[in-house]
Amino acid sequence: MSSDDIWVRNKLPIVYSKNYSVHFAGLEKLHPFDAAKGKHVHQLLCTELTLNSGDFYSPTEITKEQLLRVHTPKYLKSLKWSANVAGIAEVPALILMPNFTVQSGYLRPMRYQTAGSILAGKLALEYGWAINLGGGFHHCCSYKGGGFCPYADITLLILRLFELESVRVKQAMIIDLDAHQGNGHERDFKNVDSVYILDMYNASIYPKDNEAKPSIRCGVELRHMTEDAYYLGQLNRCLMQAVSEFKPDVVIFNAGTDILKGDPLGNLAITADGVIERDLMVFSTFRALGIPVVMLLSGGYMKSSKRVIVDSIVNLRRQGWLRAN
């Protein structure tokens, strides 16, 4: 099979649903997050690569029973109160909205994105790679949400593979390159030897979760306005260390674009070219070893993020890393 044969199949291992977009009477504009980032990336990909919606996989909404595989009943019950969800979404005005509106406008799209991450995990084992045009809710753990992250999709994804693909997947690696510390999955996988966490983040911004830090096996605490050369050098060092210390059966790549220069929350100074090189480093490292990679979009709080994401995916295809096993 040639490297491009996968692009003429019926579907690509890219996951998206029109139900990903967050909407609650315009209040989503009070948060800097692009509430329709997945939609915008999907549209650009269709234009750039001459695709249509039928070329993508689409998830069904995750059920309460599936969420309970990770989340505590107490936590899920707490999401029935708008005040609690307002704190997680970082949109205080949600306190004033009835919970059914919060459910339909915010939590339901997040449940679809969570299901998309789980589906991407399954597809990566089949194709060798998969991308969810959403997800990456790395601040949420089994019992607590935060930082716009209401569901622990990374934990759910990994545990699903451990449970249902136990012959093929016994060890997983999380490469968290969002600008913020991935404290949710770090809390969930504390003292779990079968999960290796590499986390590079701005140590001076949210969440500053010292209790979660011991779960990081290879970490870099970045300073404000870190630039490409230092960032990419540290990433190369960490990738080499991770590969030498741990042999994963799957890699979950949390590919936040909030590391871009100008992002209002990440406060780093990585260029678009730096993000594209970052993604190439991750994919080339693990795909060359035959290890499946699951990419999640995670954070990114500028309108320009969508263009960078699409340019990176196009580059990965051009470089030959988005091909079937």
Judge contact between 136 and 38, C-beta under 8 A: no
Q: How far is CA 22 from CA 6, 148, 239, 242, 280, in A?
A: 31, 11, 34, 35, 29
3-class secondary structure per residue, 146-180: ECCECCCHHHHHHHHHHHHCCCCCCCEEEEECCCC
Catalytic residue among 40, 71, 139, 185: 139
**CB-based contacts of 6, cutoff 8 Å, min separation 6:** 12, 13, 127, 322, 323, 324
Residue 153 CA to residue 204 CA, distance in Å, equals 25
3-class secondary structure per residue, 187-210: HHCCCCCCEEEEEEEECCCCCCCC
Active site residue 224: no
Residue 28 CA to residue 30 CA, distance in Å, equals 5
Neighbour tally for 118: CB within 10 Å: 25
The burial class, CB within 10 Å (0-12 / 13-18 / 19+), for 282 is buried
Q: Which two tokens stand for residue 79?
A: 């999401």
Residue 120 CA to residue 317 CA, distance in Å, equals 17
Strand ranges across the sheet with 218-222: 14-15, 129-132, 293-296, 250-254, 172-176, 195-202, 218-222
Determine the residue type at 282.
V
Active site residues: 139
